[in-house]
Structure 1
Amino acid sequence: MTTTSLLLSSKKTHCPTKRKGYSVYRYVVLIVLLLQSIFLKLNAQTTFIVDYVPPETNVKDTLYLSGSFNNWNPADKNYIFQLQENGNYVLANKQFHNSSWISYKITRGNWETVEVQKNGQPLNVRKHSFTSSKPETVTLQVAGWADQLKKEKTNKIVLQVVDLPNNTPPNTSLFVCGNFNGWVPGDERYKLQDIGNGIHQISIPVYGNRIEYKYTRGNWLTVEGNSYGRPRPNRVLDVNILSTKTLIKDSIAFWEDQSYGIFNPYTLVLVLTALQGFFLIFIINSNQNNNKWANQALSILIFVISFTLIARVVIYDRVIYTNYPKLSLLTDLVFFLYAPTLLIYIKRLLHHAKKSIWQYWPHFLPFLLQCIVYVTFFFKPTHTFIEQNLFQSMDSPPYAVYEVIVVLALAFNIWYWFKINGIVNRYFKNIEHNYSTDQNLKYLNTILIILGICLLLWTVIITVDVYATFTEQPANFLINFLIDGIWIVFSVVVFFLGYFAIKQPQIFRMPEPEEEIEEPKIEKPVLETEELAQLKTNLHQIMTQEQVYLNPQLSLPELAEKMNTNVHTLSRAINAGFNKNFRDFVNQYRIQDFINRAQDEKYKNQTFLAIALAVGFNSKSSFNRSFKKVTDKSPREYFNQLNQD
């Protein structure tokens, strides 16, 4: 399966080329290297010992170490084993700078004499991770040499590259690597020949029933890829349905190192979103008289989004990911952190809850458990970590854990989405009982729609992944496309909040009432007749004499405080005494004041909207809606009929 995470599935990253923004990339790399120097010292001296070679090995033969550290040179004089008196071959005290792991093989000077399995089959490249600053010793055994073991007759398949990317460097050498040569990217045995007309050709042996391969220009930094420098899945041939004389024609669309690299249209969107997020945190907390409690949770929410976006961009580079793949774990932390933080923000914004974030700790238990599990992943050898992510199998316990985490995270976020959606819907359903005007919070519905789209895409990814697993139909391209889509949609949340921070800054500095607003209870005691009559009289006086309705932000708790009563008693008085909710009750005084002013010569030069705002309405739509509700006519219709009469 490949759903491992919405992030790990497309973690295979890319090598940048020098272009605009490359200096930023260099700073990112410097930061990563600094972190490496703090947490890991990877330049430990390593000694390789070969304590067994096949009996037919000539003592005059020289053994070499060839790998990713020397561009797969099979006869590098800097990596020669020395034959000891006890028969062991030793390569002592080698340092591999700026690398957290290496891949390698042992040769006797060329690829024709490379080590193989005992049966003569290709041996996959060996790998070793550096996890300690102390000197290390790696002991190896060579089962056989490619030129000395009796080779069984194998079938051949001819590969032709008929089309190359336009930016392919001139006079470049093309190689093919795969499971037929142990995935050595610069194996001279599998260097394609130029046969003219821009066509390159090679014959490869057939081992087993399945051939997997890729084309390179000599190393993994120059491997073929997809658009924007994205990795492409392995090419696969099913030998059972091929004829031994079949000619396979391939086209190479892109080279990873010749594409956009770390800075492409996709990652630039994520970078810009993250930068706006950090700027937005500063803006919403620098407002005077801001909604402190809600904005604290919102700041954490935006920081979580921005941080994970930056982390994803960093691991998008092949060099960084190859050496520091465990940075990819940082992007997964959003799984169980985002939804609880959003819930806290919604509660603080809508209900003015002032509980400390730490009092919501049960909501973050899944996040803490995830961190504990990921700590165990962090201490895995680097090459093992990469293999478990790139060659995912449900037979691998770590990958099975990944899958469980992903599915649980999806269920977790869906549950919170419905919970938050219910809170928002109940708020808007009862808002007229608490506020006299609209609160400009409709953007919450849009945010929930955006997050709902993310959850839908996430569900589709898991569904496609399960289907691909049981049908053995590759779906890498579709899954990676959907993953990128999720991140783009997810980033829209920050842009959306930034838009409202500029257009409607009052959202982030809403006044907080002294008493927490609660929804009306279903069962309430009936007020005594005298108490109800007195409250009705007091209400009418405060509305006509003090004209408190002129305050656009007038709320039920604020009015209750002015009348020295509580929210529940006042709400029951308005409902029972005037048969109206709080908003309709206040707006009837505003509409009457509007009508009086509109007929007053003193206001004849003012527009209807100006007068409406003066009497306490906060928007044209709110005024028109309330006017029609009170008079059953629009303002224009009402005054036209009044003039006719």
Structure 2
Amino acid sequence: MSSRKVYGRFCEFGGSLKFFLIVILYLNIGVLFAQTSFVIDYVPENTKTTDFLYLSGSFNNWNPEDPNYRFTRNFDGTYELRDKLFKGSWISFKITRGSWDTVEVEKEGTPLTVRKHSFNLTTEEKIVIQVAGWADTLSLRDKQKKVTIVLTEVPRNTPPNSSFYVCGNFNGWVPGDSRYKMKQLVSGIYQVEVPIYSEQLEYKFTRGNWLTVEGKSYGRPIPNRILSNKEIAMNIPVKNSITYWEDQSYGIFNPYTLILILTALQGFFLIFIINSNSNNNKWANQALSVLIFIISITLIARVVIYDRVIYTDYPKLSLLTDFVFFLYGPVFLIYIERLLQHSKKSFLNYWTHFMPFFLQLVIYISFSFNPTHTFIEQNLFQSLESPPYAVYEIIVLIALVFNIYYWFRIKGNINKYFKNIEINYSTDQNIKYLNVIMMVLGVCLVIWTVIVLADVYSSFSDDPINYTTNLLIDIVWVVFSVMVYLLGYFAIKQPEIFRMSVVEIEDSKPEVNRAQIDTDELNKQKQALHKKMTQEQIYLNPDLSLPELALKMDTSVHALSKTINTGYSKNFRDFVNHYRIQDFIQRAQDEKYKNQTYLAIALAVGFNSKSSFNRSFKKVTDKSPRKYFDDLRES
């Protein structure tokens, strides 16, 4: 096929690609470099005029006394830090007076959660800050009950000479707070005391910043460690061990993500293969290309969010993985109808099927207006009290019901097609792979249902099962990716499935108000039909169809079908295969065929596959071929 024709094929579904690119750009418009000024217009009255104020945060590794981020005091008592350039879409920070002992706190002296700001514009921004209090002047920390945190084990790949910190709700989640740098007692044992400000203690271990926080083996975040009020009251050291660091784990390239990456790449390659072959299923393959493209883009988006740096700057990419919820079912339905019914309706004719997707898109775009750091928090701390997360849970539940509906609808179309094929064609059509695809989809839906039930249980229970839920989510994505491998397998092993010619299917509904066929006329037609089958041996044609046979008999399809159904109590396929089996038995006992295998003889008499032959032989003789001939020899 010429390159111009291939290009034309790609252009037919190129609109879908353009649409996805627009969505990606809109959801992830961010600023790689943002110029910002900071103004502190209020500080506590006891702040000395000689004190220097500093900006400490994720951009300078939480250095509390960085001269590059020192404020200048104005005559009016305000402080200003001008024209600082930040890389990324958002920052987290706090104000200090040169050390973590002099960090800002709440008015009553409790820790202030780190401040965060997202950059939405390329123009210069000004952030106005009020400092309520200083930790050293309120001295609330020294009055609090304390608990000892002990670290007994760290990962083997921990960089040498590393320092370990504890951060949590006791210090506003500052990852490199020197006040909570752990002290080494003996080799491999570290400890630190932390104050208690609330009923439970939430904390994590870091090596000084959020890029070096503890995590899972694949680089994903782990839930916060939680110490209950009861455990705190026991007043004993709390022992902990760290299994992995996020930056020292497999990261974005791990066995799980590699499966998804390879699947996505195979998907893009498969689109090229499908559209570069000459075939009779242009419209079906166009829909299949769109379907594979959606799967591949979704898998890529799933992989990208595994990288902490990418997710931190572009967390809204994670929304792309959800678009498959309301796209897969309708597009798969279009593919099935174009493949089996040879429909040539455009995607626009199915606009009602895509209404849920467009509604989801509107909702997600509204989420994208949230600041980047707010978006991350709402997804990281999953709670039904968070409006976006509550809406997300509802979307997931509706999407599950939506896809179950489409599964049964598509399965019904496939079953109806196979039933009609059995009535009108003498051999199997080579689309059994659809049953395999439906089975894989069914497994995905079952796992998805379990995930939803587990999530609902976790939302209303004190017994969290986040690990189980996350594991099931990873499993369902791997199973989901299997579909592309299956399509790739069949594209290579059975490429004719993408080049099937048009198959006209007769309506299999029973005829009503039609006169019953006369007995003499029926016998006459049976004799003519038997003569045609035995003398011309037209059953040897593996592609023999009911319309073709009706043409040879010079009769209508309906009349011939009634003759076969009434006169032989068989459908068309069983009728033709009966003659094939009789011919097979005769040839198998003929000396001139003794050097041929059963399969070779079966193919010679009109069967197109071993499975079709074995199934038909057992249906006619109630035995397998080997058993039949063994019994024949013994008798």
Scaled by the length of structure 1, what TM-score is found?
0.88
- Unaligned regions of 5+ residues in structure 2, if any? 1-20
Looking at structure 2, the residues matched to 275 and 604 of structure 1 have their Cα atoms a distance apart, in angstroms, of: 49
- Tell me if the contact between 1:45 and 1:134 (Cα under 8 Å) persists in the aligned partners: yes
TM-superposed deviation, 1:53: 0.8
User: Could you tell me which amino acid in structure 2 is paired with residue 154 of structure 1?
Assistant: Q
- Matched with 2:446 is 456
- Tell me if the contact between 2:51 and 2:97 (Cα under 8 Å) persists in the aligned partners: yes
The one of 487, 499, 502 equivalent to 2:489 is 499
Mapped pair 1:92 → 2:93: no
- Tell me if the contact between 1:42 and 1:131 (Cα under 8 Å) persists in the aligned partners: no
The number of equivalent residue pairs is: 612
1:126-145 equivalences in 2 (<5 Å): 126-145=115-134
- Tell me if the contact between 1:155 and 1:244 (Cα under 8 Å) persists in the aligned partners: no
Looking at structure 1, the residues matched to 209 and 180 of structure 2 have their Cα atoms a distance apart, in angstroms, of: 13
Mapped pair 1:263 → 2:253: yes
Looking at structure 2, the residues matched to 493 and 379 of structure 1 have their Cα atoms a distance apart, in angstroms, of: 35
- Matched with 1:105 is 94
Aligned-pair Cα RMSD in Å: 2.8
Segment drifting more, 218-227 vs 515-524: 515-524
Segment drifting more, 277-286 vs 392-401: 277-286
- Matched with 1:303 is 293
Looking at structure 2, the residues matched to 135 and 564 of structure 1 have their Cα atoms a distance apart, in angstroms, of: 84
User: Could you tell me which amino acid in structure 2 is paired with residue 108 of structure 1?
Assistant: R
User: Could you tell me which amino acid in structure 1 is paired with residue 117 of structure 2?
Assistant: H
TM-superposed deviation, 1:403: 1.1
Sequence identity, in percent?
Answer: 65
The one of 306, 311, 319 equivalent to 2:309 is 319
Looking at structure 2, the residues matched to 272 and 551 of structure 1 have their Cα atoms a distance apart, in angstroms, of: 42
Looking at structure 2, the residues matched to 40 and 102 of structure 1 have their Cα atoms a distance apart, in angstroms, of: 13
The one of 379, 391, 394 equivalent to 1:389 is 379
TM-superposed deviation, 1:605: 3.8
- Matched with 2:136 is 147
User: Could you tell me which amino acid in structure 2 is paired with residue 335 of structure 1?
Assistant: F
CA gap 1:624/1:245 in 2 versus in 1, 3 angstroms: closer
- Tell me if the contact between 1:527 and 1:573 (Cα under 8 Å) persists in the aligned partners: no
Deviations 1:195-215 (A, max 9, x none): 113111100000010110000
Looking at structure 2, the residues matched to 548 and 186 of structure 1 have their Cα atoms a distance apart, in angstroms, of: 84
TM-superposed deviation, 1:501: 2.7
Segment drifting more, 281-290 vs 559-568: 559-568
Looking at structure 2, the residues matched to 352 and 477 of structure 1 have their Cα atoms a distance apart, in angstroms, of: 45
Looking at structure 2, the residues matched to 398 and 482 of structure 1 have their Cα atoms a distance apart, in angstroms, of: 22
- Matched with 1:213 is 203
- Unaligned regions of 5+ residues in structure 1, if any? 1-30
CA gap 1:270/1:430 in 2 versus in 1, 3 angstroms: same
- Tell me if the contact between 1:157 and 1:244 (Cα under 8 Å) persists in the aligned partners: no
**Secondary structure of 1:96's partner?**
strand
- Tell me if the contact between 1:590 and 1:615 (Cα under 8 Å) persists in the aligned partners: yes
- Tell me if the contact between 2:152 and 2:188 (Cα under 8 Å) persists in the aligned partners: yes
- Tell me if the contact between 1:42 and 1:133 (Cα under 8 Å) persists in the aligned partners: no
Looking at structure 2, the residues matched to 570 and 37 of structure 1 have their Cα atoms a distance apart, in angstroms, of: 60
**Secondary structure of 1:229's partner?**
coil
Looking at structure 2, the residues matched to 637 and 197 of structure 1 have their Cα atoms a distance apart, in angstroms, of: 74
Looking at structure 2, the residues matched to 524 and 637 of structure 1 have their Cα atoms a distance apart, in angstroms, of: 46
Mapped pair 1:125 → 2:114: yes
- Tell me if the contact between 2:148 and 2:237 (Cα under 8 Å) persists in the aligned partners: yes
Deviations 1:583-632 (A, max 9, x none): 01212332344345446565454333222211210122322332344455
- Tell me if the contact between 2:383 and 2:459 (Cα under 8 Å) persists in the aligned partners: no
The one of 559, 570, 580 equivalent to 1:580 is 570
- Tell me if the contact between 1:229 and 1:257 (Cα under 8 Å) persists in the aligned partners: yes
Looking at structure 2, the residues matched to 557 and 361 of structure 1 have their Cα atoms a distance apart, in angstroms, of: 35
CA gap 1:566/1:112 in 2 versus in 1, 3 angstroms: farther
Mapped pair 1:343 → 2:333: yes
TM-superposed deviation, 1:398: 1.5
User: Could you tell me which amino acid in structure 1 is paired with residue 573 of structure 2?
Assistant: R
1:175-574 equivalences in 2 (<5 Å): 175-243=165-233, 245-513=235-503, 515-521=504-510, 523=512, 525-526=514-515, 528-529=517-518, 536=526, 539-540=529-530, 542-544=532-534, 546-560=536-550, 567-574=557-564
- Matched with 1:23 is none
Mapped pair 1:625 → 2:602: no
Mapped pair 1:116 → 2:105: yes
User: Could you tell me which amino acid in structure 1 is paired with residue 612 of structure 2?
Assistant: S
**Secondary structure of 1:257's partner?**
coil
Looking at structure 2, the residues matched to 638 and 214 of structure 1 have their Cα atoms a distance apart, in angstroms, of: 72
TM-superposed deviation, 1:67: 0.6
Segment drifting more, 544-553 vs 184-193: 544-553
Q: Which has the higher contact order (CA 8 A, sep 6+)?
A: 1
**Secondary structure of 1:618's partner?**
coil
**Secondary structure of 1:335's partner?**
helix
TM-superposed deviation, 1:151: 2.1
Segment drifting more, 375-384 vs 573-582: 573-582
- Tell me if the contact between 2:90 and 2:373 (Cα under 8 Å) persists in the aligned partners: yes
The one of 146, 149, 168 equivalent to 2:158 is 168
Deviations 1:531-583 (A, max 9, x none): 76776566456545554322222233444566666544442332124332010
**Secondary structure of 1:471's partner?**
coil
Looking at structure 2, the residues matched to 385 and 162 of structure 1 have their Cα atoms a distance apart, in angstroms, of: 35
TM-superposed deviation, 1:188: 0.7
CA gap 1:51/1:559 in 2 versus in 1, 3 angstroms: farther
User: Could you tell me which amino acid in structure 2 is paired with residue 434 of structure 1?
Assistant: N
User: Could you tell me which amino acid in structure 2 is paired with residue 571 of structure 1?
Assistant: S
- Matched with 2:9 is none
- Tell me if the contact between 2:219 and 2:307 (Cα under 8 Å) persists in the aligned partners: no
- Matched with 1:15 is none
Deviations 1:458-508 (A, max 9, x none): 222222222222222222211111111111111122222222333333333
User: Could you tell me which amino acid in structure 2 is paired with residue 458 of structure 1?
Assistant: W
TM-superposed deviation, 1:429: 4.4
